[in-house]
Each structure stands twice: as structure tokens, then as C-alpha cells.
């Protein structure tokens, strides 16, 4: 297994990336002023206006300090906080990318518990604050690549899933880990819509969940997660498409058989169980060979080549040795 080695330092919490360093004006409104208007551009400008709106982020969120992780990440330029928090997929709050930023304020993240159950010797219901303190918090700068063709670079806050898994002691029958998202129609206005079967379910093979890159995530940019980004706890799997990273988790189940995940149920021909980033395998309706980095000149930016396993091939490629990655997509 190839991982980046510890560089011999730990960054104090005061030096964890601040949102203020990366906040700035967006480009789309400038383009509108230059006359580059149109339906598509107006949609981008609307999202840009949302990113600048104080109704989306009236105050900074609670600090979530930690040290810089030595686990492999990226040194690429970070995506600005406004874009990370206003361009989201979270169908419980709407299917448009700007819907979660507008609607997720209704989500109540306290009190919150996460039940760990199934094929484990030590099942337990964790209070969210207990779960936060389970292991040392780290900042990890990971790429996020979504199946629609857009990407981000985000400074996530959390710790390896393996920290939790080791404590609950899975049995020999535990081959997969299933993640269940909250499904509360009172606080999640699109729960009950026909776009998906609720609750939202995702899953991993056990060795995937145990990989050091697999992150149990509680924050970004040195603060607790905003609601629209999956508060109070989510998964982040940087080598997989974004929909594999379940948000607002309330249950983690260890099971013997491969979970039937939400997107497999909805459309298994387009969204496979593994969903590893693979530029050589096209989505049935579009190419996955290139991507657009959110926050870099919007729809007019030049696309960049998509990297195998989202750039983490040297770390995770061995998990899939001998597999047909076009068949098991």
C-alpha cells in the first residue's frame, strides 16, 4: 500500500485552513455585466448570488480544530467556501444544485445519534458529540468528483472510518458496511418525493471502509459541517464519485451481503455499487473523461482530464486488482 509518509510535523488547530483566506467574488456576475447572458449563465449567476448571500451563511459555524493529516491528499488550490456550500447534491433538500443551500436550514442536528449495529461484537448508539471525540480530528484536503462532471477540492475535517470500525469489532460475517441517511419529512422537505427510495442508503466493501483514505467527516474549512454538506456527520470517499459519500448519517450497519444502495435501486445501469472514478468508463449519457472544477470561471473554464480513481490510484488501486472495472463500475 502506498501512502504519503508523515512529514514530521503537525499543524496546530490555529493553522487549519480558514474559509476567509479563500473567499472572494465569483466571476459569473461579471460575465453577466459584460452581456454574456442566457438561460445557462443566469442559472450560474443565481447560484453565485446565493453563494454571496448572508441568508445562506449568516455567521461562521462552530470551530472544529484538528491537525493536518499525513494521509495522502492533494496540494491543489482549494475550492472557495462559498462554492463548496452552495453547489451541492443532497436530494432530501431538492434536486437543483442550489436547493440544499436554500433549504437545509430546516435540518436539526442536535440531538443526534448514530446507531452502529449488525455483525459487530460491540454494537452501540453513539451521541454525535461522543462520536466526534472518538479519535483525533484531522484536516484532509481531498478532491471531490461528481458523476455529472464537476469537481472540487475541499479541506475536510474528520478521522479514518477504521477508528470507529476497530472499536465495534466486526465479526467474520461482516463483509460490507451500510450507511443510512436520516429521512425526516418534517425537516427534509423532499423526502417522500419519487426521485429516490428513502431513506438514502450507501455501502462499501469492508476493505474499502477500512482504507486510511475513507473518512468519517464532521467538518470542512475548520468548522462543523454546514447542513447542506451533510451535517452533522457524513462519509467522504475521495476515490469514488460523490454520491457514494452518504450524508447526515443515522445508522451504520455491518452486513454479510452487498447492500442495495439507493442509486443501484433507482438505476443500476447508470450508477453501480462501486462507483470508482474511472475516466475510461462513460456514463450512458455523458463522458467521464473530463471534468470542470467548480469556482474556476464557471461554464467558460477549460475542462481538465479526469484522473483514474480521482488521482488516488497509487493508494487504492490494489483494492481492485484483477477486477473488471468496466463491469464492476
| Domain range list for the chain | 13-320
pLDDT confidence band for 295 (50 / 70 / 90): confident
Residue 32 is predicted with a pLDDT of 38
Kindly report whether the peptide bond that precedes residue 208 is cis, defined as omega within 30 degrees of 0. Answer: no
- Across the range 253-282, mean pLDDT stands at 96
pLDDT confidence band for 299 (50 / 70 / 90): low
Lowest mean pLDDT across 1-5, 111-115, 240-244: 1-5
Question: Do residues 288 and 150 make contact, with C-beta atoms less than 8 angstroms apart?
Answer: no
- Across the range 295-308, mean pLDDT stands at 82
pLDDT confidence band for 97 (50 / 70 / 90): very high
Which is more confident, 121 or 58? 121
Assigned superfamily of 13-320: Oxidoreductase, molybdopterin-binding domain (3.90.420.10)
Q: Which three cell numbers stand for residue 253?
A: 450497519
Residue 24 is predicted with a pLDDT of 42
The predicted model scores a pTM of: 0.85
When the pLDDT of each residue in the chain is averaged and rounded to a whole number, the result is 86
Q: What is the 3-state secondary structure (H, E, C) of the chain?
A: CCCCCCCCCCCCHHHCCCHHHHCCCCCHHHHHHCCCCCHHHHHHHHHHHHHHCCCCCCCCCCECCCEECCCCCCCCCCCCHHHHHHCCCCHHHCCCCCHHHHHHHHCCCCCCEEEEEECECCCEEEEHHHHHCCCCCEEEEEEEECCCCEEEEEEEEEEEHHHHHHHHCECCCCCEEEEEECCCCCCCCCCCCCCCCCCCEEEEEHHHHHCCCCEEEEEECCEECCHHHCCCCEEECCCEEHHHCCCCEEEEEEECCCCCCHHHHHHCCCCCCCCECCCCCCECCECCCEEEECCCCHHHCCCEECCHHHHCHHHHHHHHCCCCCCCCC
- Across the range 13-31, mean pLDDT stands at 47
Question: Do residues 253 and 124 make contact, with C-beta atoms less than 8 angstroms apart?
Answer: no
Q: Which of 25-39, 240-254, 294-308 shows the highest mean pLDDT?
A: 240-254
- Across the range 32-59, mean pLDDT stands at 44
- Across the range 310-329, mean pLDDT stands at 96
With a cut of 50, say whether residue 11 has pLDDT above it: no
For the stretch 219-240, pLDDT in tens is 999 999 999 999 999 999 999 9
With a cut of 70, say whether residue 8 has pLDDT above it: no
Amino acid at each position: 500500500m502506498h501512502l504519503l509518509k508523515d512529514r514530521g510535523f503537525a499543524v496546530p488547530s490555529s493553522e487549519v485552513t480558514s474559509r476567509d483566506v479563500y473567499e472572494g467574488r465569483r466571476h459569473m456576475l461579471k460575465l453577466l455585466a459584460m452581456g454574456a447572458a442566457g438561460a445557462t449563465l443566469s442559472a450560474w449567476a443565481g447560484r453565485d448570488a446565493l453563494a454571496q448571500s448572508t441568508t445562506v451563511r449568516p455567521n461562521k459555524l462552530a470551530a472544529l480544530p484538528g491537525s493536518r493529516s499525513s494521509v495522502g491528499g492533494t496540494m491543489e488550490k482549494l475550492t472557495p467556501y462559498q462554492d463548496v456550500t452552495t453547489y451541492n447534491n443532497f436530494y432530501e433538500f431538492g434536486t437543483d444544485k442550489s436547493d440544499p443551500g436554500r433549504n437545509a436550514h430546516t435540518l436539526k442536528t442536535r440531538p443526534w445519534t448514530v446507531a452502529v449495529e449488525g455483525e459487530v461484537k460491540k454494537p452501540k448508539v453513539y451521541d454525535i458529540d461522543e462520536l466526534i471525540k472518538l479519535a483525533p480530528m484531522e484536516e484532509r484536503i481531498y478532491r471531490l468528483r461528481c458523476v455529472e462532471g464537476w469537481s472540487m477540492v475541499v479541506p475536510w475535517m474528520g478521522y479514518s472510518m477504521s477508528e470507529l470500525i476497530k472499536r465495534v469489532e466486526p465479526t467474520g460475517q461482516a463483509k460490507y458496511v451500510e450507511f443510512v441517511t436520516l429521512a425526516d419529512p418534517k425537516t427534509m422537505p423532499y423526502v417522500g418525493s419519487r426521485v429516490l427510495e428513502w431513506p438514502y442508503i450507501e455501502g462499501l466493501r469492508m476493505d474499502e471502509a477500512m482504507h486510511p483514505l475513507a473518512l468519517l467527516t464532521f467538518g470542512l474549512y475548520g468548522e462543523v459541517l454546514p447542513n447542506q454538506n451533510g451535517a452533522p456527520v457524513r462519509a467522504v470517499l475521495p476515490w469514488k464519485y460523490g454520491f457514494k459519500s452518504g450524508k447526515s448519517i443515522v445508522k451504520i450497519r455491518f452486513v454479510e451481503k452487498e447492500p442495495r444502495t439507493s442509486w443501484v435501486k433507482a438505476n443500476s445501469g447508470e450508477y453501480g455499487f462501486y462507483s470508482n472514478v474511472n475516466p475510461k468508463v462513460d456514463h450512458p449519457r455523458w463522458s467521464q473523461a473530463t471534468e470542470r472544477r467548480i469556482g474556476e470561471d464557471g461554464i467558460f473554464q477549460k475542462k481538465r482530464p479526469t484522473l483514474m480513481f480521482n488521482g488516488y490510484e497509487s493508494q487504492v488501486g490494489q483494492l481492485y486488482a484483477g477486477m473488471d472495472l468496466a463491469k464492476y463500475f
